[in-house]
Amino acid sequence: MNDLIRQAIAAEAEERVDSRIVLAELHKRKKARKPLGMIIGVATLTVAAAAATVVVQTAVHKTDASPATAPQPPASATNVLLIGTDDVNNTDALVFARFDTDGSVSVISLPRDIYVGSTRDKINSLYRGGPRALTDEVQHLTGTRVDHFAAIKMSEFGRIATAVGGVEVCLNAPAKDEYSGANLPAGKQTLSGAQALAFLRQRHGLLGGDIDRSKRHQAFLTGLAAKITKDNAAALARAVNGTVEVDEGWDLLEFAARFQGPVKIRTATLPVGDVVERGGVSGFAPDLAQAKQFVEDQFGGKAAAQGGCVS
């Protein structure tokens, strides 16, 4: 995910995205109410997304696309909540990412069916009431502050995948699901358009249900990061422009400029235990102490990276 920020902001002509291409594309929108733009990986995550999140790495309008001085490394880590929503603002994908001072990124997928406290309400419904309710619950669940959020509609991901010429993923077994429309063979394959969106949305027929879907989000965002080049950056900027919402006051350009050089990415899924029922509703009631320790370990660099094919 962080690769995309590095590519967009500090590009080398032959290896990375030329930031001037993206910034020129977005400069036309400099009078927008918010500094919304291309958040590839940071917010394609979003969805959100993985280190993606969602991702969609950051590039926003700025008259000077070539800073005279190199950006200083951040004084502290930044925690970003990446939110992927459906058309009525239910959260289909939720990723908590820490961008550390050394340029590394730790990404944790939060299953959408986690209960809120002792109620039968789930975390996936909170964004309908605005970002504060969702960020407060994530902080309660993880014991970790949320510095910023970025949200994008899940329906945008088919277009995003198409804009970069498809995203490579790998499946352990064939997937066919009438609800999401997924019809995919086993093995490595390149997805775009409707099948990319179906890959991200499917959870019926998956042994781990929403947990396996979270791993698909991570795989897709990692594959997306690998496809961003100086040749497709402008097309991708057009595809996502205006579709990402971020919190007021977040200086995305300054944030993105921090990340340069080789990037280390760790991905994981929050452990939630077995499915339980509350009032006829199935969901997860994670152990808060375990959840907080897991996040502390993952964000502290103690957890191992995940990879390979997904279910």
Place of tokens 């969805």: 47
Compute the C-alpha angle 310/158/242, nearest 5°.
125
Q: Residue 135 has what pLDDT?
A: 95
Which two structure tokens, joined as six digits, stand for 162?
């198409």
Residue 259 has a pLDDT of 56
How is residue 304 written in tokens? 């191992």
pLDDT of residue 246: 83
Q: What is the pLDDT of residue 39?
A: 36
Cα 122 to Cα 64, 243, 276: the distances in Å are 44, 25, 12
Model confidence over 132-180: pLDDT tens digits?
999 999 999 999 999 999 888 888 888 888 888 899 999 999 988 888 8
What fold, for 2-299?
Aminopeptidase (3.40.630)
Contact 179, 204 (CB under 8 A): yes
Pairing of β 78-85 and β 91-99: antiparallel
Q: Which residues of the chain have pLDDT under 50?
A: 1-71, 261-262
Q: What ranges do the domains of the chain cover?
A: 2-299
Q: What's the pLDDT at 159?
A: 85
Q: Which of 162, 158, 198, 153 is nearest to 178 (CA)?
A: 198
